[in-house]
Amino acid sequence: MLHEPMVHNADMSSLELIRLFLAVAEQRSFTQAARRLNVSPTAVSKGVRALESKHGVTLLTRNTRSVALTDAGAALLAVLKPAVSQIDDAFTELAQFQQRPSGHLRITAPRAFGFLVARHLVPRMQAEYPDITFDLALDDGLVDLVGAGYDAGIRLGQAIAQDMVAIRLSRPLRWSMVGSPAYFERHGVPGAPRDLLGHATIRYRFSTSGVLPPWRFDGSDGELLLDTEAALCANDTGMIAELARKGLGIACLPDIEIEDDVRHGRLVRVLTRHVPETSGLYLYFPMRSQNQPKMRALIGQASQLAGEGLLDVTLPA
């Protein structure tokens, strides 16, 4: 079936008119050009006339037996043919972005769990999608992905904004209240969460908002949120662990951060039956970005790793 487009000057783009002209100039025939473009000969003729009228120059001479280029038409053909070929190549290359994931991925992750990205996710991605490059940032604070220019982030579930798409990467994580043996020798061991109000505590502070998130405990009356006086605070769990090892106070830290310290006696767990698990790690990103090939590749690989348990950071008791 032939499709006859609207060919009035106001209705067709310059590129559409140029394609009609090129087809006629190369075929030296309106009929052959129409067949090549799958439109009617009338549409081709009207389109060429519209282009000539738009620029006030005769490009083709016609008679009943042949079509010839004027000098202006020949000059225009010499310039436009390679230019349109480059345009076609550019759109062909653009279409390949839908077929082959490529581009640059900026990802933010907490410092304590950034090793998961380096150990598992990035190597898997680069093996499968060598045309994707990465910019990785470790930051324990809350991050505005869009405002900061990130494609995706990895965070605990409760730290993710509700307008983000979130995909679970791990089971719930275990955290512990810990202090050094020397600290407990000097100050005693708290027997209940509220006893922490009389102890030196080392708290985490969000670097962006400056907020110290309260400590959460399971109490006899339900959840207890405790806001202690912070003798020390930091925006890095590794630094908080080091301060606790030095005997400067009690801290709440992910088990993955302090498991080796507990095993070797540098830190001691307290209040273990009162410390609840937290939500696991999630990959999160803006909804509108998930149709990008690079993001589909990231989501697919992260989901596969999660299914294999490779991103599970829950440690045995």
Least confident of 138-142, 201-205, 239-243, 310-314: 310-314
Quick check: 224 and 216 in contact, CB under 8 A?
yes
pLDDT at 10: 45
- Distance from chain centroid for Cα 226: 34
pLDDT at 313: 63
Mean predicted lDDT score pLDDT of the chain = 86
pLDDT tier for residue 95 given thresholds of 50, 70 and 90? low
Fold designation for 14-99: Arc Repressor Mutant, subunit A (1.10.10)
**Domain at 175-274, CATH from 3.40.190.10, 3.90.1720.10, 3.30.505.50, 3.40.50.12140:** 3.40.190.10
Which of 77, 69, 17 lies closest to 48, judged by CA? 17
pTM for the structure as a whole: 0.60
Burial group, residue 73, by CB count within 10 angstroms (0-12, 13-18, 19+)? buried
pLDDT of 6 above 50: no
Which of 296, 290, 284, 283 lies closest to 170, judged by CA? 283
What b/e sequence results for 9-19 when a residue is b if at least 16 CB atoms lie within 10 Å of its CB, and e otherwise? eeebeeebbbb
Average pLDDT over residues 297-317: 79
- For 54-90, the pLDDT digits (tens) are 888 899 888 767 789 999 988 988 888 888 878 877 7
pLDDT at 12: 64
pLDDT at 247: 97
Higher pLDDT pick, 1 / 165: 165
Query: 95 CB contacts (<8 Å, ≥6 apart)?
Result: none
pLDDT of 137 above 70: yes
| CATH 1.10.10.10 domain position(s) in the chain | 14-99
Average pLDDT over residues 291-311: 90
pLDDT tier for residue 190 given thresholds of 50, 70 and 90? very high
Which of 258, 235, 276, 252 lies closest to 111, judged by CA? 235
Max Cα–Cα distance, the chain, nearest Å: 108
How much of the chain, in percent, has pLDDT values that exceed 70?
Answer: 91
Instruction: Find the angle CA(102)-CA(107)-CA(108) to the nearest 5 degrees.
Output: 180
| CATH 3.40.190.10 domain position(s) in the chain | 103-172+279-307, 175-274
For the record, the structure tokens of 47 come out as 């389109």
* DSSP alpha helix (H) spans, 28-104: 30-37, 41-55, 71-99
How far, in Å, are 133, 134, 136, 235 from residue 126 at the CA level? Answer: 8, 9, 14, 31
pLDDT at 98: 62
Quick check: 227 and 212 in contact, CB under 8 A?
yes
pLDDT of 146 above 60: yes
Instruction: Give the span between the Cα atoms of 109 and 141, in whole angstroms.
Output: 9
In this structure, whether the domain defined by 103-172+279-307 belongs to CATH 3.40.190.10 is answered with yes
Indicate the angle between helix axes 14-27 and 30-37, nearest 10 degrees. 130
pLDDT at 41: 87
